[in-house]
Structure 1
Amino acid sequence: MPPLTRPRRIVGVSLKMYFDLPSTLSYVRGMLQLDGLAWNARLDLFVIPDFVALVSAAEILQPSSILLGAQDTHWEDKGAFTGEVSPVVLQQAGAKLVELGHAERRALFGETDESVAKKAGAAARNGLVPLVCIGERTHNTTSPSAAVGAAISECTPQVTSVLAAVPDDSEVILAYEPVWAIGAKEPADADHVVNVTKELRRLAGGRKGVTRILYGGSAGPGTFAKIAEGVDGLFLGRFAHDMQNLKKVIEEVGGAK
């Protein structure tokens, strides 16, 4: 795909449930130091704290261009859903995007392609960008081509169900995170990532809205340059909880050709 037709780059980090409230807000304040530098002209930056920190984080980030995300949402705007969080409230709290379908939520809380798609539709309906995590659970080691084929086969329904649930002109972010690569010592093989994400881009190719593709799964310094042909940025985890590590990755992605 010609470089000029590619979406704007994007890098972000999820804090999951690792930080307490003071640590979360301290981290968010630290991210302000990463905003407005030269390479910011080439990429977007986002952070996804826990629900309790959203309102305070939004206040901290208000003068910046950093996007605030939430870690989940319900598929209904309101109702008798004790313990859930409405996409309406997330938007009112200052969130701009919402992470959906992470492998942990699929494994621990039984989320399915159907429920993730419903949540994506609710997010888009309320002006939030769905950031949908997709990826194959196991790594086919028969051959590289077999691994790619198996990954595409498993990821395709994850993608198509989401795209069918959101308006064609809405923005969507797809985070390709092979489950077997999450928390591993090394990210997935670069050729594997590129071949899979190229197919994901083809699946979304007919949309009017922007579709950006991220890679997540033990990503760090040096990862983006190897897979830039297939992705628009990186979705980082614990590695980026160290602000200096996050800064290094942002510099690499923003400075890459």
Structure 2
Amino acid sequence: MPPIPHQREKRIVGTSLKMYFDLPSTLRYIGAVAQLASAADKANVDFFVIPDFVTLLPSAEKLRSTSVQLGAQDTFSEDKGAFTGEVSPVTLAQAGVKIVEIGHAERRRLFGERDEDVARKAAAVVRNGMTPLICIGEKTKPSTSSISQAVGLAVSECKPQITTALSAVPDDAEVILAYEPVWAIGAAEPAGADHVVAVAQNLRALVEDRRGRTRILYGGSAGPGTFQNLKDGVDGLFLGRFAHDISNLEKVIQEMSEP
């Protein structure tokens, strides 16, 4: 049976620089991103970029006259207090941040973040007028040739990640879910299109009764051609190192403008 297209949401694409760039190269990249804003506008695609914390203020200045949304790679769950080394969501909002990435697989693996920690951060992001980009995904690569079984296992692992986070935010809050199978992050190829579309459709069913806008992105070795294969399931892409070459990012925006 062919996949059933969901009601079309405005498409969205973005990338995180993680800790790959230093300060000068980050600012050069942000300048190049600013030049792509008109292409994204023409394609009717929402566009965001997530640099490191140190470059948020100069990045905001470079993006000020564009439609590109500035993102942050994490936040703390409290607005203020004795939390050495953490970054307040209040400060992020004041710096011009619109989207905050939380719950990435690296944060979960390296720093032991749990679903409950992600939920508290989601609440802090929404409380301060920003949109949480909640990363979700199963850890284990499917070992079965049965797509339905693999999809069922993925959904069962992702469901508590979603429900725990959404339980902490108002039902009318806008959220973005970034479906990133952990086994596909940094892999040579993205997860199979049939798998991603089926998982995304099942995850969408979990949030279809929310009053707030809920968009689903795919991340995990995404690149040219990825979105057209996934468009019946997802609303956009969350790109990694592939997009660090600005020409690749431009190609993806162009592809997302196609029907």
Structure 2 vs 1, CA of residues 39 and 251 (structure 1 numbering), >3 Å: closer, same or farther? farther
Separation in 2, partners of 1:192, 1:118: 30
Which segments of structure 1 move beyond 4 Å, counting only runs of 4 or more?
none
Separation in 2, partners of 1:23, 1:31: 12
Structure 2 vs 1, CA of residues 41 and 185 (structure 1 numbering), >3 Å: closer, same or farther? closer
Q: 1:137 maps to which residue?
A: 139
Q: 2:242 maps to which residue?
A: 239
SS in 1 for 2:38: coil
Q: Is the 8 A contact 1:7 1:211 kept in 2?
A: no
Match status 1:17 vs 2:19: yes
Q: Is the 8 A contact 1:175 1:214 kept in 2?
A: yes
Moved more, 170-179 or 143-152: 143-152
Q: 1:209 maps to which residue?
A: 212
Q: 1:199 aligned to 187, 199, 202, which one?
A: 202
Q: Is the 8 A contact 1:163 1:204 kept in 2?
A: no
Q: Is the 8 A contact 1:39 1:251 kept in 2?
A: no
Separation in 1, partners of 2:41, 2:97: 23
Separation in 1, partners of 2:121, 2:64: 26
Q: 1:95 aligned to 74, 94, 97, which one?
A: 97
Q: 1:189 maps to which residue?
A: 192
Q: How does 1:62-141 map to 2 (within 5 A)?
A: 62-141=64-143
Q: 2:46 maps to which residue?
A: 44
Structure 2 vs 1, CA of residues 38 and 125 (structure 1 numbering), >3 Å: closer, same or farther? closer
Q: 1:227 aligned to 223, 227, 230, which one?
A: 230
SS in 2 for 1:36: helix
RMSD of aligned Cα (Å): 1.2
Q: Report the CA distance between 1:200 and its aligned residue.
A: 1.1
Q: 1:35 aligned to 34, 37, 49, which one?
A: 37
Separation in 1, partners of 2:220, 2:90: 30
Q: Report the CA distance between 1:147 and its aligned residue.
A: 1.1
Structure 2 vs 1, CA of residues 76 and 40 (structure 1 numbering), >3 Å: closer, same or farther? farther
Structure 2 vs 1, CA of residues 145 and 71 (structure 1 numbering), >3 Å: closer, same or farther? same
Q: Is the 8 A contact 1:220 1:239 kept in 2?
A: yes
Q: Which amino acid aligns with 1:33?
A: Q
Q: Is the 8 A contact 2:14 2:238 kept in 1?
A: yes
Separation in 2, partners of 1:160, 1:36: 36
Separation in 2, partners of 1:38, 1:247: 9
Q: Report the CA distance between 1:37 and its aligned residue.
A: 2.8
Q: Report the CA distance between 1:141 and its aligned residue.
A: 1.4
Which residues of structure 1 form unaligned runs of 5+? none
SS in 2 for 1:51: coil
SS in 2 for 1:231: coil
Q: Report the CA distance between 1:177 and its aligned residue.
A: 0.2
Q: How does 1:134-173 map to 2 (within 5 A)?
A: 134-142=136-144, 143-173=146-176
Q: Report the CA distance between 1:39 and its aligned residue.
A: 5.5
Q: 1:55 maps to which residue?
A: 57
Q: Report the CA distance between 1:146 and its aligned residue.
A: 1.6
Q: Percent identity?
A: 66
Q: Report the CA distance between 1:253 and its aligned residue.
A: 0.9
Q: Is the 8 A contact 2:227 2:255 kept in 1?
A: yes
Q: Report the CA distance between 1:163 and its aligned residue.
A: 1.1
Q: Is the 8 A contact 2:40 2:47 kept in 1?
A: no
SS in 2 for 1:68: strand
